[in-house]
């Protein structure tokens, strides 16, 4: 498990551009090393800004998008195409723009999908899809080169919310009911699954995130503050704008 490191950018725009540039380089490096790459996407405003920024980068064409697997860390359990779905946002901002192989795009199930309007069945179905792509020696999950997370004002990541029963679920994918942030029904990777990613990037912008970011980096407990429980295998990188970084503990400020 990696120690957290922090990079701070002047404003949300520059943050999105910097994360987009990192993402392109990360995909290129993974393809150079393994012949393919995999990314786990998240929802939210800053993630959408990152996806749009990727499409603006000339270097995006250096990535072989047909050899990129796209997964999701969480999803709002709504009908396919609903504008509130993380998938819908990611498709509009990035996935419809770059030449991905549709078979390598792995959205979490929609509420009108084949599993029906049953989030537990949807979570189990996604767990099976992940297991089918699992790397040799790991029966349940594929290799994730990079997993991106937004951070909520309450410190939630993906759809793992503070003090929620999802914390007691050791399966890789969980159904979430009663989410404090609408919509109430969701599916999410659990923290143990998130923490199998080679790199995890937590991306946050805005003063309303400063408290949660500061507490997570100061070592809060993961049940109270889920972002505190995130650790990538080789890297845990917090990518912040200045407003979100005001409470970062001084010992982690070296990258500012
Ligand atoms: O499904 C969701 O609600 C999102 O995935 C959520 O976890 C988001 O990533 C954070 O709330 C940060 O969102 P912002 O970047 O919009 O603040």
Q: CATH number, domain at 169?
A: 3.40.50.1360
Distance CA 140, CA 194 (A): 12
Question: Is 69 contained in some domain?
Answer: yes
This model of the complex carries an ipTM of 0.94
Distance CA 1, CA 48 (A): 28
Residue 152 backbone phi and psi in degrees, to 5: -80, 165
Q: Which domain holds residue 191?
A: 4-249
Tens-digit pLDDT profile for residues 24-50? 999 999 999 999 999 999 999 999 999
pLDDT of residue 254: 56
Q: What is the pTM of this model?
A: 0.97
Q: Tell the residue nearest (CA) to atom 14 of ligand 1.
A: 44
CA nearest neighbour of 49 among 161, 206, 177: 206
Question: Is 134 contained in some domain?
Answer: yes
> Residue 118 has which token pair?
């049953």
pLDDT of residue 256: 43
Q: Which long-range contacts (CB under 8 A, 24 or more apart) does 179-183 make?
A: 180/154, 181/152, 181/156, 183/76, 183/77, 183/78, 183/84
Question: Is 29 contained in some domain?
Answer: yes
* Closest-lying ligand 1 atom to the alpha carbon of residue 75: 1
pLDDT of residue 135: 79
Q: Tell the residue nearest (CA) to atom 7 of ligand 1.
A: 158
The average confidence (pLDDT) of the chain is 96
* Closest-lying ligand 1 atom to the alpha carbon of residue 45: 16
Q: Tell the residue nearest (CA) to atom 9 of ligand 1.
A: 150
Question: Is 255 contained in some domain?
Answer: no
Q: How far is the CA of 44 from the centre of ligand 1 (A)?
A: 4
Question: Is 148 contained in some domain?
Answer: yes
Better pLDDT: 252 or 234 = 234
Question: Is 231 contained in some domain?
Answer: yes
Rounded alpha-carbon distances, angstroms, from residue 52 to 89, 97, 239? 10, 9, 17
**Cis peptide leading into 138, omega within 30 of 0?**
no
Scan for tokens 């939630």, then name that residue: 156
Count of domains in the chain?
1
Q: Is 42 in the pocket of ligand 1 (CB under 6 A)?
A: yes
Question: What is the average per-residue pLDDT within 2-20?
Answer: 96
Question: What is the average per-residue pLDDT within 210-235?
Answer: 97
pLDDT of residue 115: 84
Pairing of strands 74-76, 186-189: antiparallel
Q: How confident is residue 248, by pLDDT bands cut at 50, 70 and 90? A: very high
Question: Is 254 contained in some domain?
Answer: no
With pLDDT > 70 as the criterion, what percentage of the chain qualifies? 98
């Amino acid at each position: 498990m990696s120690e957290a490191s922090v990079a701070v950018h002047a404003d949300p725009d520059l943050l999105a551009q910097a994360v987009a540039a990192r993402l392109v380089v990360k995909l290129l490096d993974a393809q150079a090393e393994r012949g393919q790459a995999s990314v786990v996407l998240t929802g939210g405003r800053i993630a959408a800004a990152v996806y749009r920024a990727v499409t603006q980068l000339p270097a995006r064409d250096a990535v072989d998008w047909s050899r990129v697997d796209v997964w999701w860390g969480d999803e709002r359990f709504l009908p396919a195409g609903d504008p509130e779905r993380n998938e819908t946002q990611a498709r509009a901002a990035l996935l419809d723009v770059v030449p991905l192989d549709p078979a390598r795009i792995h959205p979490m199930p929609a509420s009108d999908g084949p599993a029906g309007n049953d989030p537990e069945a949807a979570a189990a179905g996604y767990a099976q899809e992940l297991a089918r792509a699992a790397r040799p020696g790991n029966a349940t999950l594929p290799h994730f080169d990079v997993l991106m997370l937004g951070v909520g004002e309450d410190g939630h990541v993906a759809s793992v919310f503070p003090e929620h029963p999802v914390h007691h679920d050791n399966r890789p994918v969980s159904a979430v009911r009663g989410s404090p942030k609408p919509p109430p029904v969701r599916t999410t990777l659990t923290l143990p699954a998130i923490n199998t990613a080679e790199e995890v990037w937590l991306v946050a912008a805005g003063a309303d995130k400063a408290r949660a970011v500061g507490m997570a980096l100061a070592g809060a407990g993961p049940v109270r503050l889920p972002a505190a429980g995130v650790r990538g295998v080789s890297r845990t990188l917090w990518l912040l704008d200045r407003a979100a970084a005001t409470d970062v503990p001084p010992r982690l400020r070296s990258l500012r």
